[in-house]
Structure 1
Amino acid sequence: MDLSKIKELNPVTGKSKFYKEDVFNLYYRTLCNSNSWDVGLGFFSLSSLKLLAYPLSKFIVKNNGKIRIYCNERISENDFKILSNNDYSLDKLGVFQDLVEMKNALEGKNSGLFSLCISYLIHNNLLELKVLINSNDTRGISHHKNSIFKDNKGNVVVLSGSANASEQAFLFNREDTNAFCSFWKQSFATKNINSTIEEFENTFENGDEDWKILEIKSSELKDKLNEIGFRKIEKDSLENEANKYINKSYRKFSKEIQKEINIELSNLNNEPHFPSFGGKKSEPRPYQKEANSEWIKNEFKGIFAMATGTGKTITSLNCAVEEFKKNKEYSIIITVPTVTLVNQWIDEAKKFNFKSIISTTKSKNWEGELRRVLFNKQHKIGDNHNYVFIATYATFNKAKCQKLIKKISDKNTLLIADEAHNLGAPTSLRNLPHNISKRIGLSATPERIYDDIGSSRLYEFFNSFPPVYTYKFSMREAIDKEFLTPYYYYPYFVNLEHDELEEYLKITRELVKHYDFANDRWKDSATQKLIQRKRIIHKAQNKKECLKQIFEDVKLKNENLKYTFVYVPEGYEANNETIDNAEIEAEDERIINAYSEIINDFGYKTYQFLGETKNRNKILNQFKNGELEVLTAMKALDEGVDIPITKNAIFCASTGNPRQFIQRRGRVLRLHDGKEYANIYDMIVTPNMDSLIHEDADLRDMEIRIFQGELRRVANFLYSSENMMEVINDKIREVADEFNLDVFELINENIENDKIK
């Protein structure tokens, strides 16, 4: 934006008088290079400016421009008396009639862009409009038609002359316009600019000796727009409309401007932008824009604690796009837990039109590619220094990767840590990239289980702390705002077999000495024992009988379990800070075979979806098309799988990790045409209080506290469900009472947590 760079106004090679289409082209250039436009005209209508729709949209979107207009209007003697007494109806003024005509004439056509520009200016208080009125027999105001353009560098251009701001005047009439520019440093031009500005300010504030000035309030304009039917539009939407418009209408301008527009469009096609969905350009959802605003307020650091299914990936990449718009370049580091997620992020980054994507899975020489782009950026070699680097945490933590990451010095480099809790693991904590100042952590559940130190370091790194975080978008809020599907929750309580119970109690007795009763938390020394004991719960034999019961119950209701994910227990949990992909073990294979066989017996077409499954996309497409009805999995469905048609989820696993349940719940709640609700079936292993009668009081107390934690998860699921009270009365209350626990108190914790913003 620089008025002094307009070549037609160059003091040496340019000119000062313009005719016909040259006037139109000059208005194009001045609007594109200014952020203030004062217009003083005679008899005027807004819709007469419709040919300037595209440069006006650039004036708004790129330059944050503001317009002030005054114009004349002759009215009847009677109307003049009414208006002069300030007891007037807006409908009496021609400018409002013009808005109605403009809406009817332009809406739905290419020139509808202009009506959107006017709507945006008015709704954002960027258009001040004053009308000078008098009766029909009064003299007209004797002044030229003037436009005063200003940019943010202090340059001023005045266009003054006989040319009306109308299509007829721009393209057909032999009307002329004179230009006066502050950067000419000529006394006659400076004198004319000063006098024009003074005349405009006086007239805009005070009117003329024979003409009364009416200031049309912004609120009145907005009300009138709403009454007529103009829709309020956001800047991103206006920019999208402008890009669609100019693709069809650029031939209205001179060949030289057409060439410039073609270059703009070519550059635009190569720039990152919010992706298209369903073949149509889209824009961020309101909460995704809000997340970006909160991140900026927090000095470009933060954790987005957003429910699974609400678009955390898109939210973070939108932040990257917004940063590109400001800096005109991008350098992005993305860390993820698994290879599957690397591939998913590559696909998402491409949708946003990011180029130069280097990944540790698809780029064989990723180390060399990253070294080259960092070297070129640091030494300003070449023109294009943009890149996106995507790595698993395991690769990110390796010495050869860390050596390169530590070389990053650009202040605008952005780190996006997907499933950011992984960054709080011991190895990752040693490699936190403090040299990257712009940071986004993504996680539905940022806190690390049994790791207060890791959680604390993570929060400090992102300058984002619970329960508020930088931005929070809960599942309940997402369902209420119709960004996720409502669901019904069906808990099933499972008891341990005798031998399982014996082993469980043996470990529990050992755990008592590792529990801090004063602070109601586990000591660090408890971790291994907790994992051993959880594995017993996780693989409880009675879960298989429970699975049969679930299928029987659904059958009794004359319903089916088509489009179902079944999460079966696994015997091994991978460490994502050091391992990219975990292979299935023999024990895992035996478990998933047993669960799949039960489902097959009910007549469902079932497939085991494992981490090493080949033809993943083919299998998922068969599931989408209904050729496969149920997918059984351990963890392979946790990441990189987005199938909105999925309607049911059965949780047989009991890992004790709330993150896993919350993520899995989110996968089945994605919106899909015809999917009115989802169903979640959850197996919960309950302690046997009879077996604890003869145990130590501390052990019984500890066991109740542990189950309270499990019931807290149940309460979280209940709180967002459609059948909360029915489930409480039918199943939960009796179990809670047995352990002297208040389920409503636990549900209220979720309600209060959601209130914190």
Structure 2
Amino acid sequence: MKKGQLPLRTAGLQSDYRSDRCDIVEDFYLPALAASMSYDRAVGYFTASVLSVLGQGLDEFAARGGRIRIVASPQLRHEDVEQIRGGYALRTVLEKAALRDLREACEDPRAASGLGKLGLMVADGLLDLKLAYVAAAGRIGMYHEKIGIFRDERDLVAFKGSANETLPGLVGNFESIEVFRSWHIEDGQRAQRIRRDFDDLWSDRTPLLRVIPFTAAMKLLTEEYAQRTGNQAHLEPLPIDGTTMVLPRPDTDGMLVIPEELDVRDYQKQAVQSWFDNGFRGILRMATGTGKTLTALSAAAQLSKGLRRKQAQAALLTVVVVPFQHLVDQWSTDIERFGMTPIRAYESTDSWYGKAASLLDALALGTSRGGVLVTTNATFSGDPFQSILRRHRGHFLLIADEVHNLGAKRLRERLPDSATYRLGLSATPERWFDDRGTEALQDYFGKVVFEMGIGDAIGAGALCRYTYTPVVVELDGEETELYGEVTEKIAKMLAVQEFSEDGDDDSPLGMLLRKRANILGHARAKLPALRDQMMKRRSEWFQLLYCAEGRHPLADGEYGDPHEPSQLQQAVRLAGENLRMASASYTSETPREKRRELLRRFSSGDDLQVLLSMRCLDEGVDVPAARTAYLLASSSNPRQFIQRRGRVLRRAPGKEYADIVDFIVIPPEQTSELHRETERRLVARELARVTEFARLAENEADTLDILRPLRLRFGLLDT
């Protein structure tokens, strides 16, 4: 509380005020303003003249840093409505109408001091104004509610009634208001409810309403008014904010359309037909590199076309959800090929929220026949994006790329019931150690309606053929002991089911599984073996190297070396300094622009010879030029190794074969009987991946011969 400022509780505020019994300005507004640090007001109309009525009380309020937030509705005229119907951007029309209201106020002498106060408060950041309107059922309507909240540091006073925030509303008309004081038991709940209603309104979370910022446009007017009153300059029309999104005009299709130059393969047509036949729901299990994105967009285009046949004005909202930001950009590029510019929803909410809300308004009003939002899993699950989805009442297609990610509990709970049409994409839709998450995905998206594995894709010419080289390395003694300890903990947890039902990475089971995988991925014997393999291919280009994430599990132990370089750091040094091969790392910390530059350099074939990464190249990154892949991170998770194989099998000009070098981890020869079964299971898991890779390789027989001694040694001839 500022020095000399009395609290709201001592302002003598009553429970109601009416024009025949009191002066509402003198008896309510000014005492409340004198005791407040903030004033929130939501009304049908607002004009600057009201600020002059509040006079000295407002000056004192502003002097002590009091803040005002106003939500009002501009007065729309016939020509405004016609412009909206004609397809002009709603925000543009509303801003013009609100500016017109304020301009007309400039001509009223009584508004002069009010506009001056308005300009000063805007300039000092003490006053914000937003515009509200009804946007539902294909119509635009006035926001006509009248509520207000005064607050000090402890309490609040909420009120509602007939008065607008205009000069006649406070002075000339017959008005009444009801007042609710938070410190009165009978008023407290109503006061808090009105406060919540205003906060939702201000944050644009109120169903049926749109609320858009207006302060920036208003600031231009107040500055111009100040100049005009100083030098009598002529009042010219103000420009509208150039960032406003202009909605498609009704003479454009606003539909996804399959581009004429696109050669849709027969298996992609079959996948789309299978999805149609299953009621426009289902999951496409398609190998990495077989064109899942183009298949999904073809399905969306055909759906939009079918809806339009049934109903000429049918509009389809398509929402694409992907794991990472770079995939938003990749999908957006492909969507533009299909004739639409999508809204990219990631990073700052301010960068996309207004555009998305305007798109939904256009769909509701029929001024746009379609639209596409592309977003990340993180943004999709956030409250702002969810509020956008809740507004939409029309046709809605949800496409989930790498759909297995949405089976995580925090994400599947956000999947919208309002999506009539649902399409999931993944080479491996099943979730690893998470039956419940897998089941939830199938319940929401539907069953797998089409499958195309890597073998089928190679046979169809969608992926290239490959050779496979397994390289066997041993754990050292410390690594073997730690692996056994972690495996025993996992076995006990599985036996008594003491783990998260979702199998997420942060669950107790998930953390143990990740630690065990890290032991294998960081096995110290891999680096010398990698050097030998890279020496054989030292003159070759287009080489990808997948490293294990983080640090060696033993580096942080009691006797570990906290300064031990990560596997990625060691591999970068090996390739660049020791072997003199042009190389660079590509990680989650690499800025997006630099990532694009690295991929461009790598694909050129004469600049960057080796690209080293961890997980960033797993899902969705297009590197078709890659011809060799070193898999240092030997995960037993099928999703990871299938995706990594798919990365290097993509077709590219002049590319006939790919070469996969896989590092297989086994225990040392001399081990104790205590850990014998643990070691046998370790090798069995490694061989499961090797068998899958070898099965489709050009050199399958040679690969199986290399591994036969291991099968004999660990009694795994039948696996």
Using the TM superposition, give the Cα deviation of residue 639 of structure 1 relative to its aligned residue in structure 2, in angstroms.
4.1
User: In structure 2, what is the Cα distance between the partners aligned to 1:588 and 1:447?
Assistant: 36
- What's 2:573 paired with? 597
Using the TM superposition, give the Cα deviation of residue 526 of structure 1 relative to its aligned residue in structure 2, in angstroms.
3.4
User: In structure 2, what is the Cα distance between the partners aligned to 1:290 and 1:268?
Assistant: 30
Q: Which amino acid aligns with 2:329?
A: N
Alignment partner of 1:667 out of 627, 634, 647: 647
RMSD across aligned positions (CA):
2.8
Q: Which amino acid aligns with 2:663?
A: M
Using the TM superposition, give the Cα deviation of residue 512 of structure 1 relative to its aligned residue in structure 2, in angstroms.
3.3
Q: Give the alignment of 1:263-302 within 5 angstroms.
A: 271-275=255-259, 281-302=261-282
User: In structure 2, what is the Cα distance between the partners aligned to 1:345 and 1:639?
Assistant: 13
Asked if 1:395 is matched to 2:379, the reply is yes
Q: Is the 8 A contact 1:423 1:429 kept in 2?
A: yes
Q: Which amino acid aligns with 2:378?
A: A
Asked if 1:349 is matched to 2:328, the reply is no
- What's 1:546 paired with? 529
SS at match of 1:491: strand
Q: Which amino acid aligns with 2:287?
A: A
SS at match of 2:391: coil
Q: Which amino acid aligns with 1:613?
A: T
- What's 2:429 paired with? 446
Q: Is the 8 A contact 2:544 2:612 kept in 1?
A: yes
Using the TM superposition, give the Cα deviation of residue 271 of structure 1 relative to its aligned residue in structure 2, in angstroms.
4.7
Q: Is the 8 A contact 2:473 2:665 kept in 1?
A: yes
User: In structure 2, what is the Cα distance between the partners aligned to 1:639 and 1:442?
Assistant: 12
Q: Is the 8 A contact 1:274 1:318 kept in 2?
A: yes
- What's 1:648 paired with? 628
Asked if 1:431 is matched to 2:408, the reply is no
- What's 2:360 paired with? 374
Q: Give the alignment of 1:105-144 within 5 angstroms.
A: none
Q: Taking structure 1 as reference, are residues 461 and 325 closer, same or farther at Cα in structure 2, changes over 3 Å only?
A: same
User: In structure 1, what is the Cα distance between the partners aligned to 2:580 and 2:327?
Assistant: 33
Q: Give the alignment of 1:29-44 within 5 angstroms.
A: none
- What's 1:530 paired with? 513
Q: Give the alignment of 1:313-712 within 5 angstroms.
A: 313-328=293-308, 329-361=315-347, 364-378=350-364, 381-410=365-394, 412-464=395-447, 469-516=448-495, 526-554=509-537, 560-571=539-550, 590-600=566-576, 601-614=578-591, 615-625=594-604, 626-688=606-668, 690-695=670-675, 700-712=676-688
User: In structure 2, what is the Cα distance between the partners aligned to 1:459 and 1:364?
Assistant: 34
Matched pairs, number? 445
User: In structure 1, what is the Cα distance between the partners aligned to 2:511 and 2:580?
Assistant: 40
Q: Which amino acid aligns with 2:712?
A: D
Q: Which amino acid aligns with 2:589?
A: E
Q: Is the 8 A contact 1:358 1:369 kept in 2?
A: no
SS at match of 2:268: helix
**Deviation digits for residues 414-448 of structure 1 (CA, Å, limit 9, x no counterpart):** 10001101110010121121221211111111111
User: In structure 2, what is the Cα distance between the partners aligned to 1:707 and 1:452?
Assistant: 24
- What's 1:735 paired with? 710
Q: Is the 8 A contact 1:571 1:588 kept in 2?
A: no
Using the TM superposition, give the Cα deviation of residue 356 of structure 1 relative to its aligned residue in structure 2, in angstroms.
4.8
User: In structure 2, what is the Cα distance between the partners aligned to 1:512 and 1:487?
Assistant: 36
| Greater alpha carbon shift after TM alignment, 391-400 vs 706-715 | 706-715
SS at match of 1:691: coil
Q: Give the alignment of 1:299-318 within 5 angstroms.
A: 299-318=279-298
Q: Which amino acid aligns with 1:719?
A: R
Q: Is the 8 A contact 1:516 1:522 kept in 2?
A: no
User: In structure 2, what is the Cα distance between the partners aligned to 1:733 and 1:485?
Assistant: 27
Using the TM superposition, give the Cα deviation of residue 684 of structure 1 relative to its aligned residue in structure 2, in angstroms.
1.6
Q: Give the alignment of 1:204-243 within 5 angstroms.
A: none
Q: Is the 8 A contact 2:618 2:643 kept in 1?
A: yes
**Deviation digits for residues 482-540 of structure 1 (CA, Å, limit 9, x no counterpart):** 1110000111112112222222222233333234499xx99966333222222111211
Q: Is the 8 A contact 1:607 1:632 kept in 2?
A: yes
**Deviation digits for residues 23-48 of structure 1 (CA, Å, limit 9, x no counterpart):** xxxxxxxxxxxxxxxxxxxxxxxxxx
User: In structure 2, what is the Cα distance between the partners aligned to 1:677 and 1:565?
Assistant: 15
Using the TM superposition, give the Cα deviation of residue 568 of structure 1 relative to its aligned residue in structure 2, in angstroms.
1.1
SS at match of 2:649: coil
Using the TM superposition, give the Cα deviation of residue 267 of structure 1 relative to its aligned residue in structure 2, in angstroms.
7.3
User: In structure 2, what is the Cα distance between the partners aligned to 1:538 and 1:356?
Assistant: 39
User: In structure 2, what is the Cα distance between the partners aligned to 1:275 and 1:497?
Assistant: 56
User: In structure 1, what is the Cα distance between the partners aligned to 2:489 and 2:482?
Assistant: 11
* TM-score, length of structure 1 as denominator length: 0.55
User: In structure 2, what is the Cα distance between the partners aligned to 1:623 and 1:377?
Assistant: 42
Q: Is the 8 A contact 2:403 2:429 kept in 1?
A: yes
Using the TM superposition, give the Cα deviation of residue 706 of structure 1 relative to its aligned residue in structure 2, in angstroms.
4.4
- What's 1:119 paired with? none
Q: Taking structure 1 as reference, are residues 617 and 376 closer, same or farther at Cα in structure 2, changes over 3 Å only?
A: closer
Q: Taking structure 1 as reference, are residues 385 and 367 closer, same or farther at Cα in structure 2, changes over 3 Å only?
A: farther
Q: Taking structure 1 as reference, are residues 441 and 270 closer, same or farther at Cα in structure 2, changes over 3 Å only?
A: closer
**Deviation digits for residues 453-487 of structure 1 (CA, Å, limit 9, x no counterpart):** 111111111221xxxx2110110011011111000
User: In structure 2, what is the Cα distance between the partners aligned to 1:715 and 1:511?
Assistant: 25
Q: Is the 8 A contact 1:623 1:630 kept in 2?
A: yes
Q: Taking structure 1 as reference, are residues 297 and 572 closer, same or farther at Cα in structure 2, changes over 3 Å only?
A: farther
Using the TM superposition, give the Cα deviation of residue 636 of structure 1 relative to its aligned residue in structure 2, in angstroms.
2.7
Q: Is the 8 A contact 2:666 2:679 kept in 1?
A: no
User: In structure 1, what is the Cα distance between the partners aligned to 2:460 and 2:373?
Assistant: 34
Q: Taking structure 1 as reference, are residues 413 and 709 closer, same or farther at Cα in structure 2, changes over 3 Å only?
A: same
Q: Which amino acid aligns with 1:298?
A: N
Q: Taking structure 1 as reference, are residues 683 and 275 closer, same or farther at Cα in structure 2, changes over 3 Å only?
A: farther
User: In structure 1, what is the Cα distance between the partners aligned to 2:366 and 2:351?
Assistant: 21
* TM-score, length of structure 2 as denominator length: 0.58
Q: Taking structure 1 as reference, are residues 351 and 599 closer, same or farther at Cα in structure 2, changes over 3 Å only?
A: same
Q: Taking structure 1 as reference, are residues 509 and 617 closer, same or farther at Cα in structure 2, changes over 3 Å only?
A: closer
Q: Which amino acid aligns with 1:391?
A: T
Q: Which amino acid aligns with 2:359?
A: V
Q: Is the 8 A contact 2:345 2:379 kept in 1?
A: no
SS at match of 1:680: strand
Q: Is the 8 A contact 1:592 1:633 kept in 2?
A: yes
- What's 1:238 paired with? none
Q: Give the alignment of 1:57-206 within 5 angstroms.
A: none
Q: Taking structure 1 as reference, are residues 666 and 430 closer, same or farther at Cα in structure 2, changes over 3 Å only?
A: same
- What's 1:183 paired with? none
User: In structure 2, what is the Cα distance between the partners aligned to 1:316 and 1:634?
Assistant: 28
Q: Is the 8 A contact 1:571 1:587 kept in 2?
A: no
User: In structure 1, what is the Cα distance between the partners aligned to 2:387 and 2:521?
Assistant: 40
Q: Taking structure 1 as reference, are residues 692 and 430 closer, same or farther at Cα in structure 2, changes over 3 Å only?
A: farther
SS at match of 1:678: strand
Q: Which amino acid aligns with 2:617?
A: L
Q: Is the 8 A contact 1:355 1:386 kept in 2?
A: no
SS at match of 1:638: coil
Q: Is the 8 A contact 1:514 1:522 kept in 2?
A: no
Alignment partner of 2:693 out of 705, 711, 717: 717
SS at match of 1:608: strand
Using the TM superposition, give the Cα deviation of residue 326 of structure 1 relative to its aligned residue in structure 2, in angstroms.
1.4
